[in-house]
Structure 1
Amino acid sequence: MMLLGKVLCVLGVLAGLLAFFWRDTWNPESLSGARVLLTGASAGIGEEMAYHYSTFGAELVLTARREAALQRVKEKCMELGAKRVFYFMADMASPEEPQKVVQFALQKLGGLDYLVLNHIGWSPFEMWDRDVAHVQWLMQVNFLSYLGLVSAALPALEESKGSLVVVSSLVGRIATPFAAPYTATKFALEGFFASLRQELVMQQKEVSVTVCILGLIDTESALKKTRCVHGSIRRGACGRNRSYKS
């Protein structure tokens, strides 16, 4: 027990020294003029990321399903300092859409420095009722469309030595009840992009891969699902909406 205490004490000292001497070398000016394609950009986390990129003077292509919401976000991005903002309406449940989105972004921006994948499919918190069709739909939106976007955008990211950012979830690391289909898609993201990162290193391709692991959030859609779970976990208690957060 004494040995364990000494080890923990040493580790604590080392962590303190690291924190003291650590210097963040990130330069905010590096985002000025950066060409960014951001999915799921009309609400929630995607909307806020669009605003943050805008404050640094980035050039943006936003995509989601709802044109009115995209137009609203675009206008605010311009007010916050984005150099240029375009949007493209797309439903990621369609296998053809990822290629179209990337082509649009490359046409408007002339290349890509950041591909930020954030869109998700709606999946109610409830016991899995053996609805395979819903799992297939969710896998297309939450996983396969990500692969389609990366496949189309990777040559441009390799050329710019750019960055790939994937918004994932804690349930992609720790399985949880009442979210089996959603959890499956997030585990798939974790496995694929961890492997892709290693393959890019082996091929000496300078494209960074960042997977963001999010816990509980207070976006409107997340709070709605939480309220449903708190009230009841019976099947159908919260309804079932075959659409994705855009």
Structure 2
Amino acid sequence: MGRLQKILIPLLGLVLAFWFYSARENFKPEMLQGKRVIVTGASTGIGEQIAYHLARMGSHILITARTEAKLQKVVRRCLELGAASARYVSGTMEDMAFAQHVVSEAQASLGGLDMLILNHVGASYFGFFDGDVEHVRKLLEINFLSYVAMTTAALPMLKESEGSIVVVSSMAGKVGFPFTVPYSATKFALDGFFSSLRQEFSIQNINVSITLCILGFIDTDRAVRAAAEVLREVPAPRDECALEILKGAALRRRELYYRYSSTRLPLLLRDCAAELLDYLVRSRYRLPAAPGTPRPPL
């Protein structure tokens, strides 16, 4: 009977999840027309594609990243695609003051905020953990504390608009993955902070949604450069991923899994067959070089 339960419970979860998400799939692009949106990490990758989708839907967009020239190019493209307006602010999220400045700029230029999309990430490495505590601290500041700073600064505007917070995270924030120890730590921190914050919003009747996006292997330049030769998996397209993120945000979903088969389904094993899940995770990798050898950036 115990073995049967271990099989039936995940299967029941899969059926319920399929029904739940199918029943709520009623996204329309008009939902984001005229919305005032901040997108961080928007000069390349998923953030860039999110900006382009928002532009096609007629949103007001404020994007940010480190490289001004890339941001200028993205803004020009957003205007060509039909954005109601498009602006940028360049700077580094290592500076908490800059994170708060981006929100202030949205208030000044957009007159408010309907959606905060937190997508930026600091540079790390793909390989065995080398014990560099300073690197972990720096990554936590960029990947976690700046998210907290921006959310705190944006909350008054989001409460007024009854808006949304969108947190781009990863399977590495739900399951322990090898070769991404510092990165994974920051993503677990995001899950804990925003899941707890969602509970407090509910208790206080604050109508601001939080969508945590659990992503698998996506074909961003950074991810492919770091992991393509190690992962036994074909990366999913960044433009499709970006659109799914916006759908989940517009529908105010609690969590979004992309792609579903490689993210949500394995998590059904986490509580009932943790060792099996660990084995399946390890089996996705071709072993990299031993510790001490040069590592590709993540």
TM range (shorter): 0.7 to 0.9
In structure 2, how many angstroms separate the alpha carbons of the residues matched to 1:162 and 1:140? 25
* Higher deviation after alignment, 225-234 or 45-54: 225-234
Contact 2:173/2:184, CA 8 A, preserved across alignment: yes
Residue 56 of structure 2 corresponds to 55
1:162 aligns with 2:219: no
CA apart distance, 1:197: 0.6
Contact 1:190/1:211, CA 8 A, preserved across alignment: yes
Aligned to 2:128, the other structure's residue is in SS state coil
Return the TM-score normalized by structure 2: 0.73
Return the TM-score normalized by structure 1: 0.88
CA apart distance, 1:16: 11
Aligned-partner residue type, residue 138 of structure 1: L
Q: How many residues align?
A: 238
Contact 2:103/2:154, CA 8 A, preserved across alignment: yes
Identity of aligned residues (%): 47
Q: Deviations over 1:50-86 (max 9, x none)?
A: 0011110000000000001000100111111101001
Contact 2:92/2:98, CA 8 A, preserved across alignment: yes
Aligned to 1:121, the other structure's residue is in SS state coil
Residue 244 of structure 1 corresponds to none
Give 5+ residue unaligned stretches, structure 1. 242-246
Aligned-partner residue type, residue 295 of structure 2: C
* Higher deviation after alignment, 132-141 or 120-129: 120-129
Question: Which of 289, 293, 297 lines up with 1:232 in the alignment?
Answer: 289
Q: Deviations over 1:170-227 (max 9, x none)?
A: 0000001111111100000001100011100110010000000000111111011014
In structure 1, how many angstroms separate the alpha carbons of the residues matched to 2:31 and 2:75? 21
Residue 101 of structure 2 corresponds to 100
In structure 1, how many angstroms separate the alpha carbons of the residues matched to 2:222 and 2:294? 16
In structure 2, how many angstroms separate the alpha carbons of the residues matched to 1:226 and 1:76? 29
1:127 to 1:67, Cα distance in 2 relative to 1, 3 A: same
CA apart distance, 1:19: 7.8
In structure 1, how many angstroms separate the alpha carbons of the residues matched to 2:173 and 2:19? 29
1:199 aligns with 2:200: yes
Once the two structures are superposed, the pairs formed by residues 1-246 of structure 1 within 5 Å of their partners are 18=19, 22=23, 24-227=25-228, 229=230, 232=289, 234-238=291-295
In structure 1, how many angstroms separate the alpha carbons of the residues matched to 2:217 and 2:75? 27
Contact 1:125/1:233, CA 8 A, preserved across alignment: no
Aligned-partner residue type, residue 146 of structure 2: S
1:218 to 1:18, Cα distance in 2 relative to 1, 3 A: closer
Aligned to 2:145, the other structure's residue is in SS state helix
Aligned-partner residue type, residue 118 of structure 2: L
1:91 to 1:207, Cα distance in 2 relative to 1, 3 A: same
CA apart distance, 1:130: 1.2
In structure 1, how many angstroms separate the alpha carbons of the residues matched to 2:25 and 2:180? 37
In structure 2, how many angstroms separate the alpha carbons of the residues matched to 1:25 and 1:161? 20
